[in-house]
Amino acid sequence: MLTLDDVLPKIKDILSAELGLKKIFDKDVAKALDIKQLSFATMKKRGSLPLNNILDFCAHRKISINWLLYNQSTRSLEEETQKYANIRYFGDIYASAGGGAFNYDKDTQELTLDGYMLDMIGGIREAKNIDAINVLGDSMEPTLHDGDIIFLNRTIKDITKSGIFAISTDVGLFVKRLLLKSDGSIDLISDNSLYSVETVQSEHVEIIGKVVGSMRGM
């Protein structure tokens, strides 16, 4: 799983070249990514990856995000396009503690997944069915962490099978393990034992999709 430390040397090299080969410090990177220094230090300590900020950093400089994250050259991407796929990333949508219904009208960004990540979500043919959103809160730790980016397969909605699902309810958007009960109600189960099981009626639940993968985010 990629962390901020994995991409920090490349970002510093880019900034050093921009600023006349001067030595670059963490505070310079934080400024370039538009992140407060204290927040930046916390991300480093937690192993987080501020993907939205890095996407903006690359877009502004016309740098390949795949080169920065995975050391993939533009030419290699062009030569092996079939090994990569773009998915929609809803950077403003958070699930686990409120947030309302899933709004497909929200602005999206594109994430390009390489072969490793495509294998994680079920292969390149499944990419067209995948959306990415963010996790909010610690209720699914240690499986999912606050700020993680999760990949949802919108075509998998059978909650009688095991797994973690994103659901929209009357009170918000959640990521939970689900248990369909004989009376038609659904238990929302957290992996964090500090959280109790919640029960909702199935008619008040919309299954968004199954979580088929994740990566550490902000």
> Where is the domain boundary, 26, 51, 79?
79
pLDDT in tens, 108-141: 788 888 777 888 888 888 889 999 988 888 999 9
> Where is the domain boundary, 79, 113, 143?
79
Query: Can you tell me the mean pLDDT for 192-207?
Result: 91
The CA angle 35-41-44, to the nearest 5 degrees, is 105
Written in H, E and C, the secondary structure of 61-124 is HCCCHHHHHHCCCHHHHHHCHHHCEEEEEEEEEEECCCCCCCCCCCCCEEEEECHHHHHHHCCH
Same structural domain for residues 218 and 133? yes
Pairing status of strand 85-95 against strand 130-135: parallel
| Structural domain range at position 17 | 1-79
Same structural domain for residues 100 and 170? yes
Count of structural domains within the chain:
2
Same structural domain for residues 158 and 181? yes
Same structural domain for residues 107 and 47? no
pLDDT for 89:
87
Same structural domain for residues 38 and 134? no
Q: Which CATH number do you get for residue 163?
A: 2.10.109.10
pLDDT in tens, 43-75: 888 888 888 899 888 888 878 877 788 776 655
> Where is the domain boundary, 45, 79, 113?
79
Verdict on whether the full-model pTM lies above 0.75: no
Same structural domain for residues 72 and 91? no
Q: Exposed, middle or buried: residue 125 (CB in 10 Å: 0-12, 13-18, 19+)? A: exposed
- Tokens of residue 207, six digits: 């299954």
